[in-house]
Amino acid sequence: MRRYFTIKGILSPWSRRDAAQDESSPLIPKVSSAKEDVEELGDVTTESHEAGPNKGQDNSPVSAGIQPHYIYSFMDYILKYFLILSNLMFTVLGLVVLVLGMWGLISKRSFAQEKIGSIGTDPMLVFLTLGFVLTMLCLSGCVGALRENSTLLKLFSAALLALIIAQVLTAIVVYSLQVQVGDYLRSGMLAAMVHYQDDLDLRFITDEIQSNLQCCGADNYRDWELNIYYNCSAPGVLACGVPATCCVDPLENGTVWNSQCGLGAQLLDEFSAQSVIFLGGCLGGMSRWIEQHEGLIGTVGVVLLGVQIWLPVTVMLPLTTRDN
């Protein structure tokens, strides 16, 4: 009998062992030594055979109080604390994103009565939603692993699996509707250019795209004519110009940012303008960047998807085994 329990414990790390019912735990229970468990089982078995007429039926409090539990390996401890630390880290990240989104909405007074109608298109709302979802999801996983709460762990696994399905469906839709997605990006880029001077968030995003991709406008630099300040009929100094992030050398070989380097760029022909600003649009720059880094993008996507699949599987496997 002792040899049987020893072999069973080696082959199956999630196998059940004997302990009191109030000592059971979803992940790492408080257990006694294997020798004491076997001896206790032997005593109960002996008492059962000596019970008299009720053979095989022992209703004594001793046998009723013995319930199966598990002995976990060192890897199980690593799994528990890995779940705690990783979810704690992403919970803090989610809180940072949540605070950033809330700060952006408050600083721009997006909750004011005159702006509340357009809050749905505010980029800060994306940060707010993403931060809230990430915080609640990772907090449930962190607390569930810390307190060894099977309900929270199951909720965490179910939410993560739903998130994985949503990501896979999104990737399929984006791949199958590339033309429509391109049109949507173009419309969004043009809308950001129209409101470039009015929305600080859109200005920041547009400047980052143009600076990093070395592009100007959606299709070309003349798209900036859509902006009322950069339109050639505008009365201001920015008329027929482009933002400084379109310039080839906005520092002009110095250390001070020249915000007027793109003035009058739309009046130049392409041959003359190419030495001052970037002529190509950002949509083409995005396509080229994706083509150049498609291997890296695919690798990162597979790794992230694998980690997301691995987490709920490793959580649900022991929970399912315990329920059986």
- pLDDT digits 0-9 by tens, 9-35: 434 333 444 444 444 444 544 444 444
pLDDT band at 306; cut points 50, 70, 90:
confident
Torsion of CA 53, 56, 58, 62, to 10 degrees: 130
What's residue 70's pLDDT? 53
> Which one has a higher pLDDT value, 114 or 52?
114
Compute the average pLDDT of residues 128-148: 85
Check whether 215 has a pLDDT greater than 60: yes
pLDDT on residue 278: 92
Percentage with pLDDT > 70 across the chain: 66
Q: Which residue has the higher pLDDT, 312 or 128?
A: 128
Q: What is the mean pLDDT of residues 96-101?
A: 87
pLDDT at residue 95 is higher than 80 = yes
The pLDDT, as a whole number, for residue 65 is 47
User: What is the Cα–Cα distance from 324 to 321, expressed in whole angstroms?
Assistant: 5
Going by pLDDT thresholds of 50, 70 and 90, the confidence category of residue 157 is confident
Assess contact for 68 and 18: CB atoms under 8 A.
yes
Whether the per-residue pLDDT at 63 is higher than 60: the answer is no
Output 15 or 250, whichever has higher pLDDT.
250
At 246, the pLDDT band (50, 70, 90 cuts) reads very high
The answer to whether the beta carbons of residues 262 and 246 sit under 8 Å apart is yes
Query: Is the pLDDT reported for residue 324 higher than 60?
Result: no
Q: Which of 25-29, 120-124, 163-167, 308-312 has the lowest mean pLDDT?
A: 25-29
* pLDDT averaged over every residue in the chain: 74
By the 8 A CB rule, do 297 and 279 touch? no
User: What pLDDT is attached to residue 80?
Assistant: 76
Give dist(CA 99, CA 141) in Å, integer: 21
Max avg pLDDT among 122-126, 247-251, 282-286, 314-318: 282-286
Higher pLDDT among residues 13 and 170, named by residue: 170
**27 close to 80: Cβ distance less than 8 angstroms:** yes
**CB 111: neighbour CB atoms within 10 A?**
10
Q: Which amino acid is at 280?
A: G
pLDDT at 61: 46
Residue 175's pLDDT is 84
Q: How many CB atoms lie within 10 A of CB 268?
A: 15
